[in-house]
A and B are shown apart, each in its own frame.
Chain A
Amino acid sequence: MKTLLSCSRTVLLAALASGLVAAIGPVAAQQQTKAPAVNPSPAPVPGLPAQAPGASPPSWAQGRPDTPEVANIAPVVPPPIPAAVDKLPVAKLKLPTGFQIEVFAAGLSDARSLRVDDKSNVYVSTRRIGRVYAITDKAGKKEVKTLATELNSPNGIALHAGTLYIAEINKISKVDNIASQLDSPPKPTVIYDDLPSDAPHGWKFLTVGPDNKLYFNIGAPCNVCMPSDRHAQIRRINLDGSGMEVVAKGIRQIVGMDWHPTQKVLYFTENQRDWLSEDQPNDKLNRLLHPGKDNFGFPYCGGGDIPDPQFGWGHSCQEFTPPVAQLGPHTAPLGMRFYTGKMFPAQYRNAAFIARHGAWNKSKKIGGDVVVAKLNPDGTVRSIEPFITGFIVDNNYIGRPVDMEWLKDGSMLLSDDYNGAVYRITYGPQRVSMSR
């Protein structure tokens, strides 16, 4: 298994600026001492209730820095009203030489998963406000249409043979021939609804496999708990909703999946638990080599290497399928796609781009970037490098990347749910801007 610790030196130096290294330190520390040391009497953190003398801090407070920033830990929730175009942070984001980023579309509140059809219509899901959008481009003029409203957290969308599939918390539905009905789409038709209705980690990522089946996750309805046999898994169904199979278990929550372009193996990001410590467990990049057999360890093991203090007794992390990479503690890796276009340099061919939404369960935020994982021929991870950085400024988010998809010309579209926007990333000499 590849960890950020074994990155090459040049990559380490490159990562220094972007905060990736923040994830490397704690992994090294953990390898030296298995259990965090107990503090006999920790110094009081300003503004927080003093510990009783002699009491050790709870496990999740160990490794916590002694700064006022600790009291500011809280989930980050995007404003429901999208940011105005002139407030978008593109000018502050950094990319490797030769790449440019521009605004593709703005005003899409809660923009989440992205898909592109063969007519270059762009589909954008949401997860908080129940909408699915389409962005069309007629002779250079872009328009945002709302295809559906009042859906139950429709985060997962996928396209196949002209049909748009939508995964809500408790149902999967479809609209056939979507591209010809963008101005007055019919209500989606439900194809599958044998699903739990829990809101926590109930939102799904949806993808169509090389076997023409729909793959989606059902998250664990908690921070950490013993999931039922209907939760914490990946299922697949036929395109008509029949033939459900559970193909993977022991997964806390997934918000990004994609298929290796040549090996046809499913890779996915996985978000691990909060409130264990600032620096553990690592969020993961996994791959599903044995559908129907792989168990990725939740709730017994976090990060691939940390037995859970509540559920881990009697188990070893070695029982479970390890990640192919650790992606930093609490960085919230979401969307991921393998690059199959022709615009980016050859080194990016078949590499996996991963959007790290960014941490909230850390006093000093990390992530808030897009990284690229380059693979070895056997599908293991050779290196992870920063690709787009700068979404965190002074420990606050100026945007949060969620998902990416490729346009026909090989440029990248990137969604940002914090601002309600979609960006476009190109490579090469300055091109004619597509933004209007």
Chain B
Amino acid sequence: MGRGGKAGLIAAGWLAGALPVLADDLPEKLAEKLAPCLACHGVEGQSVLENVPSLGAQTAPYALIQLFMFREKMRVAEPMTEAAQGLSDGDLQAMSDALAAQPPPKPPDDPGDPTRLERARAVTEQHRCNFCHRPDYSGQQSVPRLADQREDYLLKTLREYKSGARRAYEPIMVEVLQPTDDSQLIEFAYYLSHRR
């Protein structure tokens, strides 16, 4: 079955038992709307599913833009496009704010190869990722948090921006990646997912 199907089974498992971490603080309706999201993206901000991004402490403006794009069908990536249908502007804002309040994802257990990390750091900073995404990669405004994001999702996203397969709200990443090659994208993803 496809990724969506597997996530659906897991979703059922989560909903049967655990309540999302945020449920106590949120109005019931919002918690209900978020439950299926957290089932895939992780109740503590950390995704354990391949190619599904962690959303904990993601910047609210960035999350809002992505949810808006899914709802408007500017980005078609199931199940997200389907999941965003029927959400109001207020829903999008409230959900983005709630995601931003989740704890950030944790770094992986494997600390990575120090030599490779140092070289990867240099090439990442050469492309000034540490400016827009901030030196600690926590993001700012509409520039997303990258720190401790899943390596597979980072690489997939970088490749999709570079090839044009992923539509951007603002084509900044396409422009930034214009002078790069795939071997550098691999190093970006390695560094950003392992750096501490």
Chain B residue nearest to A127 (CB atoms) is B170
Is the beta-carbon distance between A81 and B89 smaller than 8 angstroms?
yes
Task: Given contact pairs A49-B130, A225-B178, enumerate 19 new A-B contacts (beta carbons under 8 Å).
Answer: A48-B130, A48-B135, A49-B125, A73-B131, A74-B131, A74-B133, A75-B132, A75-B142, A75-B170, A77-B172, A79-B64, A80-B68, A81-B64, A81-B68, A128-B170, A199-B167, A199-B174, A222-B179, A225-B179
Is residue A322 contacting chain B, with contact meaning CB distance below 8 A? no
Task: Tell yes or no: B175 within 8 A of A by CB.
Answer: yes
In terms of DSSP, what is the predominant structure of the interface of chain A?
loop
Determine whether B93 belongs to the interface, using a CB cutoff of 8 Å to chain A.
yes
In angstroms, Cα B178 to Cα A201, docked, is: 12
Question: CA A203 – CA B174 in complex, angstroms?
Answer: 14
B49 lies within 8 A of chain A by Cβ: no
Is there an interface contact between B170 and A74, defined as CB atoms closer than 8 Å? Answer: no
* B178 and A80 contact, CB distance less than 8 A: no
Report B67-84 CB contacts with A as 1/0, cut-off 8 Å.
011001110000000000
Q: Are B142 and A77 in contact (CB under 8 A)?
A: yes
Indicate whether B128 reaches chain A with its CB closer than 8 angstroms. Answer: yes
Chain B residues near A79: list those with CB within 8 A.
Answer: 61, 64-65
Known contacts A71-B135, A73-B132; decide if A221 and B168 are in contact (CB<8 Å). no
Residues of B within 8 A of A48 (CB): 130, 135
Tell me which residues from 40 to 99 in chain A have a Cβ below 8 Å from any Cβ of chain B: 47-49, 71-77, 79-81
Q: Across the interface, which residues of A come within 8 angstroms of B135, CB to CB?
A: 47-49, 71
Contact A199-B164, Cβ < 8 Å, known A48-B135, A77-B170, A225-B179? yes
Residues of A contacting B92 with CB < 8 Å? 81
> Cβ of B168: which chain A residues have Cβ within 8 Å of it?
199
A184 near B: Cβ within 8 Å?
Answer: no
8 closest A-B pairs (Cβ-Cβ)? A199-B171, A74-B132, A200-B175, A77-B142, A80-B68, A222-B178, A77-B170, A200-B171
Residue contact A74 to B164, C-beta cutoff 8 Å: no
Shortest CB-to-CB span from A203 to chain B, Å, is 9
> Restricting to A94-109, which residues have a CB under 8 Å from any CB of B?
none
Scan A272-284; emit 1 where CB is below 8 A from any B CB, else 0. Answer: 0001000000000
Interface residues of A in 252-309 (CB under 8 A from B): 275
> Contact size class for B?
35 or more
Residues of the A chain whose Cβ atoms lie less than 8 Å from the Cβ of B128: 275
Is A130 in contact with B175, judged by CB distance below 8 angstroms?
no
User: Which residues of B102-151 are within 8 A (CB) of A?
Assistant: 125, 128, 130-136, 140-143
Closest to B143 in A: A74
Asked whether A150 is an interface residue with its Cβ less than 8 Å from the other chain, the reply is: yes
Report the bound CA distance from A76 to B134 in whole Å.
14
Given contacts A80-B64, A129-B74, contact A72 B178 (CB under 8 A): no
List B contacts of A150 (CB < 8 A). 73-74
CA distance A150 to B178 in the complex (A): 25
- Residue on A with the closest CB to B132? A74
Partner of B141, one of A74, A129, A199: A74
A185-205 to B contact mask, C-beta < 8 Å, 1/0 = 000000000000111111000
Most buried by B among A72, A150, A200: A200
A223 at the interface (CB under 8 A from B): yes
Please measure, in the bound complex, the distance between the C-alpha atom of A425 and the C-alpha atom of B145, giving whole angstroms: 40
Query: Smallest distance from the beta carbon of A299 to chain B beta carbons, Å?
Result: 13
Contacts of B89 in A (CB 8 A): 81
Contact B143 A223 (CB under 8 A): no
Question: In the assembled complex, how far is the CB of residue A47 from the closest CB belonging to chain B, in whole angstroms?
Answer: 5
CB contacts under 8 Å to B, within A306-339, are none
In the complex formed, the residue of A with least CB distance to B60 is A79
Chain B proximity of A423: nearest CB distance (Å): 22
Contacts of A76 in B (CB 8 A): 141-142
| Nearest B residue to A77, CB-CB | B142
Query: Smallest CB-CB separation from A49: which chain B residue?
Result: B125
The smallest beta-carbon distance between B113 and chain A, in angstroms, is 19
Which residues of chain A are within 8 angstroms of B64 by Cβ–Cβ distance? 79-81
